[in-house]
C-alpha cells in the first residue's frame, strides 16, 4: 500500500514538473508576442513619420524611437532565442491598419503619429510593468524591468509633444460641445482639416473617450467624423476631428 502511494506521489510530482514549464512558457510567450509586435510597430511607424512628418520635434522623436526600440527589439530577439520562444514576424491586424493609415496618408501625419505613439506607449508601460512585477521568466522579467524607465521617458516625451500640438489628455462632456483634449481647448472644436482616421479608428477613439453604441459615422466635407453615441445613458451627437478631439453635442 505504501509502495503504491509512493509511486502515485512520484507520478503526481513528475506531472507537475512537466506541467509548470509549459505554463511558464505560455505566459512568457504571450509577453514576447505583445512586446515584439509593439516594438516592431514603434520602429516601422517611426520610419514613416521620420519621412513624412513636418514638425521637427516629431521627426526627432521618431528617430529616437527607431534607435531605442530597435535596440530593445534586438535584445528581446536574443533572449527569446535563448529561451526557445518564437518571435512574431509580422504585425497584428490593428497595428497593420495604423501603419497603412500613416503610409497612405496624403496629408501631414504628425497628429496621427503622435496619438498612435501615446496609445502605444501607454500599452507598453502597462505590459512591461506588469511583467516586471509578476513575470515567470527570469531573463524576460529582467529585460522588462530594465526597459520600463526608457518607455516612461518616451511616454513623457510624447506627452510634451502632444501638449505643444494641442492634443492633451481627454476630459469629455456629453452636455455641451467641448474638446476631449487639453486644458486650453482648440478654438471652436471640432477643427476642420484633412482627417486620416479610418472609420474603425474614429469609432475606437470615440469609445475610448467614454462613449458607447457609436453609430452612423460619416466624414463630412470638413474632414470631421460625425455620428451618434451614448454617454451616461443619454444619446448625443458626437464628432471627431483630424487632431483626435472628440466633441459631444455637435450638430
Cis preceding linkage at 206, omega within 30: no
pLDDT confidence of residue 12: 41
| Confidence bin at 184 (pLDDT 50/70/90) | very low
Residue 176 has pLDDT above 80, yes or no: no
Looking at the DSSP bridge assignments, the partners of residue 226 are 218, 239
Q: Global pTM?
A: 0.58
Identify which of 200, 192, 198 has the alpha carbon closest to the alpha carbon of residue 247: 192
Residue 127 has pLDDT above 60, yes or no: yes
From 127, 97, 116, 99, select the one nearest 205 (Cα to Cα). 116
Residue 38: alpha-carbon gap to chain centroid: 8
Output the CA angle 29-48-153, nearest 5 degrees. 60
Question: Own/partner pairs for 200-209, CB < 8 Å, 24+ apart?
Answer: 200/97, 201/97, 201/98, 201/101, 202/240, 205/115, 205/240, 205/244, 205/246, 206/238, 206/240, 206/246, 208/170, 209/170, 209/172, 209/180, 209/246
**Separation between Cα atoms, residue 149 and residue 58, nearest integer Å:** 21
C-alpha cell at 212: 458607447
Kindly list the structural domains of the chain, giving each domain's residue range(s) and its CATH number in brackets, ordered by start: 2-165 (1.20.1260.10), 168-251 (no CATH)
pLDDT of amino acid 28: 92
When pLDDT is averaged across residues 15-31 and rounded to a whole number, the result is 51
Task: Compute the distance between CA of residue 160 and CA of residue 162 in angstroms, rounded to an integer.
Answer: 5
- Cell numbers representing residue 165 in the block: 500640438
pLDDT the model gives residue 179: 38
Please compute the mean of the pLDDT values over residues 226-244 and round it to a whole number: 88
Inform me whether the pLDDT recorded for 119 exceeds 70: yes
Give dist(CA 217, CA 225) in Å, integer.
6
Quick one: 150 exposed, middle or buried, by C-beta within 10 A (0-12, 13-18, 19+)? middle
What is the structure's pLDDT at 173?
33
DSSP bridge pairs for 246: 240
Amino acid at each position: 500500500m505504501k509502495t503504491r502511494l509512493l509511486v502515485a506521489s512520484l507520478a503526481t510530482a513528475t506531472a507537475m514538473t512537466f506541467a509548470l514549464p509549459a505554463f511558464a512558457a505560455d505566459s512568457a510567450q504571450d509577453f514576447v508576442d505583445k512586446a515584439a509586435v509593439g516594438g516592431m510597430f514603434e520602429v516601422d511607424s517611426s520610419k514613416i513619420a521620420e519621412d513624412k512628418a513636418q514638425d521637427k520635434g516629431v521627426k526627432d522623436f521618431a528617430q529616437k524611437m527607431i534607435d531605442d526600440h530597435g535596440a530593445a527589439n534586438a535584445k528581446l530577439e536574443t533572449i527569446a532565442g535563448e529561451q526557445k520562444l518564437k518571435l512574431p514576424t509580422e504585425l497584428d491586424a490593428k497595428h497593420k491598419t495604423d501603419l497603412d493609415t500613416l503610409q497612405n496618408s496624403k496629408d501631414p501625419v504628425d497628429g496621427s503619429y503622435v496619438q498612435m505613439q501615446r496609445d502605444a506607449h501607454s500599452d507598453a508601460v502597462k505590459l512591461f510593468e506588469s511583467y516586471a512585477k509578476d513575470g515567470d521568466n527570469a531573463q524576460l522579467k529582467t529585460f522588462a524591468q530594465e526597459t520600463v524607465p526608457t518607455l516612461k521617458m518616451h511616454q513623457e516625451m510624447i506627452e510634451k509633444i502632444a501638449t505643444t500640438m494641442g492634443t492633451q489628455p481627454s476630459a469629455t462632456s456629453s452636455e455641451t460641445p467641448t474638446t476631449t483634449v487639453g486644458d486650453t481647448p482648440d478654438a471652436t472644436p471640432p477643427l476642420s482639416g484633412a482627417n486620416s482616421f479610418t472609420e474603425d479608428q474614429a469609432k475606437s477613439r470615440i469609445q475610448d473617450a467614454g462613449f458607447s453604441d457609436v453609430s452612423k459615422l460619416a466624414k463630412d466635407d470638413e474632414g470631421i467624423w460625425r455620428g451618434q453615441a451614448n454617454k451616461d445613458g443619454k444619446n448625443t451627437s458626437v464628432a471627431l476631428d483630424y487632431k483626435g478631439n472628440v466633441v459631444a453635442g455637435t450638430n
